[in-house]
Every structure is written in C-alpha cells, then in structure tokens.
Structure 1
Amino acid sequence: MRMRSSLETMKINQNTVLQGKKVTLVPYTSAHVSRYHEWMKSEELQRLTASEPLSLEQEYEMQRSWQEDADKCTFIVLDTERWSGQAGTEEDCMVGDVNLFLTDMEDPTLGEIEVMIAEPSCRGRGFGKETTLIMMFYGKDG
C-alpha cells in the first residue's frame, strides 16, 4: 500500500467524509468525545485496545492532539443506514473509530490501520471490514 505524505494524509481529512454501504467515516471532532469517552469506560474495550481510562478532560485533550498530529489520521465510524436516514446526530450513529498511522516518517509507503467497532451490536456485521477497506483506499495514492 502506498501512503500519501504525512501532511496530506493527516490534515486533509479535517473536512473529509468517506461513505460506504455499511459505514460512513467522519473526522473525529470534539462533538464525538463524550460518546467515545463512554465507550472507553468499558473494561473490555480497554483490554482489547490496550488503553488506560482517561478523564473526560483528558479525552478532549487527546482528541485535539490527534487532530493536530502529523503521523495519524482518525475518523469516527458511523452506521451509514442510521446516518443517511437522519435517524439522529453523528454522535447517535457512532459505532467505532479508525486510525491510520504512518509508522516510518522516512518511508511514507508504510502504515498501520487500527479499527475499533465499539458498539457490540455492530460487531460481526462487516463494519470493521468495510472500514479497513475504505481506509486502505483513502491512504493509497491514486
């Protein structure tokens, strides 16, 4: 997989929405932090993501740092059906998140994708697979 340069990949997504059949990826903004914070209170998700619990204030700080970080690109994963049908706000339609990391700043062709489908009812339904494929396509030079 060939990746875009770090500046292109990490800053371009601030206004990017990527829509698939099952999932829609939107930039991780402060509007998503409250729901994300609730997810990360789960001991299961902490274990599966090797994460430590953070305070809500720390979670907002983390979101801001990820938005500005030059070596990662983060999107919130929405359920496309709920989001397209205007069933609620983005926060109501959140099912997880996805991160694209550049692992070697000297070689922009190397990267890592991490996907978390936090909502148990959305697991095993192909959301993670489609999220991964969308991120691979997004990170690839056209």
Structure 2
Amino acid sequence: MRVNEDTVLRGLRVLLVPYEPHHVPRYHEWMMSEELQKLTASEPLTLEQEYDMQRSWREDNDKCTFIILDAVKWNQGYPEEQCMVGDVNLFIVDPENTSLAEIEIMIAEPAYRGKGLGEESVRLMLFYGASTLKTTIFQAKIGQENIKSVQLFSKFHFEEVSLSAVFKEITMQWKVTDEEKKKLLDSFCVSVESYKQIKDMK
C-alpha cells in the first residue's frame, strides 16, 4: 500500500517500517521455517517470488505491511536487516471501504517471542488503522492451536465470532467504538515519522 511507503511508527521497543526490497532476503530466510509456514498458513516461495510478493504488498491497495524492528538495536546503529524481528499486516477487505481490515502479526525471531514486542506492534498497527485508514472493524484469523495469538488479541478486546472446523481456524473481531478509539489513540507512546528522514539521519 502506497499510503505507508514513507511511514515509520515508533513505539518504546519497536519501530514499524515499510517493507522494502532490502528486507526481502531476511524475510525469505524466515519463511523457509516449517514452523512459520504452519503458523502463517504459507507455502515456501523462491527468492524471486518473495521479491514479487514484496512489490505486490507495496503496490496493492488492499495490503498494508510493516516490518518490525528492534528499536534498541536500531538506536545502537545496527544495520536495519539485523534489527528485523517480524512483520505486521493489515489486509483491507474492500479497498474502496477501509472500515474493515484483517490484521496479522508474526514475530519470526524466536529470541524475541514472549517479550511484549508482538503486543506493542499490534497496538501500533491498530493505532495506524484507526487513525490513518479509518478502520473501525479489525479481524484476526488464527489457527486453533495458536493459543498465544488468541491470548494476544483477547487483550485488545477481540472476541471470537466464528470457528472453521475445516481450516481449524478461529476468527476474532474487534469493533472499535468511539470511546475505545480515543483510548487507543491516547493511551500509549507512539510517534509517526518519515522513513526517508530517519534513514538519512542514520
């Protein structure tokens, strides 16, 4: 999605940056993992196909993707590829109406799991969806066995709305009220910055 091509969402422990071609080799390494393929219901791609996918996520109006960076490493001057820990996405159900979106989160680096980075990344993405894309209904489709993800989205008031026995998948949903939106926008530390500017400063 072009709308976020120069957007950085900075929290306390993570930075969300647009998915760029230089991220692809590391992302491709992640997706060779059978564990991640299972958790994300993905098929392995060639490196060339991964580059094609990155271009699609950048150009298509129904996909909004950010790479999750470790803010501590970033601030210490590590190369961006070495700061990568996962990704977070919004898939717009109808590009003409951004009020409904499906959210996905992946912490690909095992050492970063269970440390709150996923929770902060989801919060930043909900903030971005509600404030910039005007999303008012968020959905998450989660494998039944992925208890940690179910627990994560439950923290954000997502509730189970359906269960697919065929796909062994739970659909959770959060309808954002005006009061909840205000709390989301006001209750935590986030700054929205220019990706080009922060790269130039590094």
Both structures adopt the same fold (TM-score exceeding 0.5): yes
Question: For residue 6 of structure 1, what is the aligned residue in structure 2?
Answer: none
Name which of 19, 25, 43 aligns with 1:34. 25
Could you tell me which amino acid in structure 1 is paired with residue 93 of structure 2?
Answer: T
Greater fraction of residues in strand: 2
Q: After TM superposition, give the deviation of residue 85 of structure 1 in Å.
A: 1.4
Residue 140 in 1 paired to residue 140 in 2?
Answer: no
Name the Cα RMSD after superposition. Answer: 1.2
Residue 14 in 1 paired to residue 5 in 2?
Answer: yes
Residue 112 in 1 paired to residue 113 in 2?
Answer: no
Q: Could you list the per-position Cα deviations for residues 39-90 of structure 1 after superposition, in whole angstroms to 9, with x for gaps in the alignment?
A: 000000000000000000110111011100110100100001111111x211
Flag structure 1 segments of 5+ consecutive residues without an equivalent: 1-9
Count of equivalent residues? 132
Displacement over 4 Å in runs of 4+: none
Question: For residue 44 of structure 2, what is the aligned residue in structure 1?
Answer: 53
1-structure distance, mates of 2:96, 2:88: 23
Aligned-partner SS, 1:109: strand
Residues 61, 95 of structure 2: 8 Å contact kept:
no
Structure 2 length-normalised TM: 0.63
1-structure distance, mates of 2:28, 2:96: 33
Q: Could you list the per-position Cα deviations for residues 114-133 of structure 1 after superposition, in whole angstroms to 9, with x for gaps in the alignment?
A: 00000000000011100000
Report sequence identity in percent. 63
Question: For residue 71 of structure 2, what is the aligned residue in structure 1?
Answer: 80
Structure 1 length-normalised TM: 0.89
Name which of 58, 66, 89 aligns with 2:79. 89
Q: After TM superposition, give the deviation of residue 22 of structure 1 in Å.
A: 1.1
Question: For residue 121 of structure 2, what is the aligned residue in structure 1?
Answer: 131
Flag structure 2 segments of 5+ consecutive residues without an equivalent: 133-202
CA distance change for structure 1 residues 20 and 34 in 2, over 3 Å: closer, same or farther? Answer: same
Question: For residue 4 of structure 1, what is the aligned residue in structure 2?
Answer: none
CA distance change for structure 1 residues 121 and 62 in 2, over 3 Å: closer, same or farther? Answer: same
2-structure distance, mates of 1:117, 1:106: 30
Residues 93, 100 of structure 2: 8 Å contact kept:
yes
Q: After TM superposition, give the deviation of residue 106 of structure 1 in Å.
A: 5.2
2-structure distance, mates of 1:107, 1:65: 19
